[in-house]
């Protein structure tokens, strides 16, 4: 797999599966992709920005108000200079923001400034949250908007239950991204989830 000349924005949200995103980012960087990471404030409780900076050799964006580069507003540059945007773990909160166009942090604002057809989300939440009617409505809206899903999977969850809501495994996410970037827009689809 060679992702040379592809720019990928990875948006990390505040969920326990954030630790798995370190592996995703590492694998993408090893495949020679230019990876940039943006993080919600909540995600910083799970993984530090320094980890992603070390894995990508790029600045990490954690808020709208501290510019990592002075030439462009953070969210506009992030939205317009990426071939693909991965949101992982994509929490129920972020899905709700995306479905309604709420933009109150660097991740959600970047997503509102992006073409949803370039966005792939890897949902991650408790099975009850995933099954909630509001989450399912938001998922349907995102699909209608052109957002693509990888997962969620079924299995053991951090809340000590088994059910649907696990984030897809890093290797599966990287493989999906590689196929999506190699495919024409007409061939790209979301095979993993139908509400």
How many domains does the chain fold into? 1
Cα radius of gyration rounded to whole Å, the chain = 15
38 - beta bridge partners?
11, 61
Q: Which domain holds residue 82?
A: 7-182
- Residue 37 belongs to some domain of the structure: yes
Residues in the chain: 195
- Catalytic positions, written as ranges: 159
The 10 Å Cβ neighbour count of residue 108 is: 25
CA angle 49, 37, 188 (to 5 degrees): 150
| Token pair of 25 as six digits | 């980012």
- Residue 187 belongs to some domain of the structure: no
- What's the CATH number where 116 sits? 3.40.50.1950
What pTM was computed for the model? 0.88
Query: For residue 70, is pLDDT > 90?
Result: no
- Residue 11 belongs to some domain of the structure: yes
pLDDT in tens, 89-100: 999 999 999 999
159-164-166-170 Cα dihedral, nearest 10 degrees: 160
Query: For residue 191, is pLDDT > 50?
Result: no
Of the CA atoms within 13 Å of residue 77, those in its CB half-sphere come to 15
- Residue 188 belongs to some domain of the structure: no
- Residue 133 belongs to some domain of the structure: yes
Q: pLDDT at position 73, please?
A: 56
- Residue 63 belongs to some domain of the structure: yes
- Residue 26 belongs to some domain of the structure: yes
């Amino acid at each position: 797999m060679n992702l040379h000349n592809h720019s990928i924005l990875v948006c990390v949200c505040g969920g326990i599966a954030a630790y798995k995103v370190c592996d995703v980012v590492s694998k993408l960087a090893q495949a020679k992709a230019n990876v940039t990471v943006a993080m919600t404030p909540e995600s910083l409780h799970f993984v530090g920005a320094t980890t992603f900076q070390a894995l990508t050799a790029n600045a990490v964006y954690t808020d709208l108000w501290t510019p990592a580069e002075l030439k462009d507003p953070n969210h506009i540059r992030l939205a317009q200079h990426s071939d693909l945007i991965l949101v992982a773990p994509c929490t129920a909160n972020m899905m709700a923001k995306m479905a309604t166009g709420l933009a109150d942090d660097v991740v959600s604002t970047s997503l509102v400034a992006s073409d949803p057809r370039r966005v792939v989300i890897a949902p991650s939440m408790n099975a009850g949250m995933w099954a909630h009617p509001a989450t399912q409505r938001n998922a349907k809206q995102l699909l209608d908007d052109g957002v693509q899903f990888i997962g969620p999977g079924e299995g053991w969850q951090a809340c000590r239950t088994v059910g649907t809501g696990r984030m897809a495994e890093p290797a599966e996410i990287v493989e999906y991204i590689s196929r999506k970037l190699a495919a024409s827009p007409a061939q790209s689809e979301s095979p993993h989830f139908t509400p």
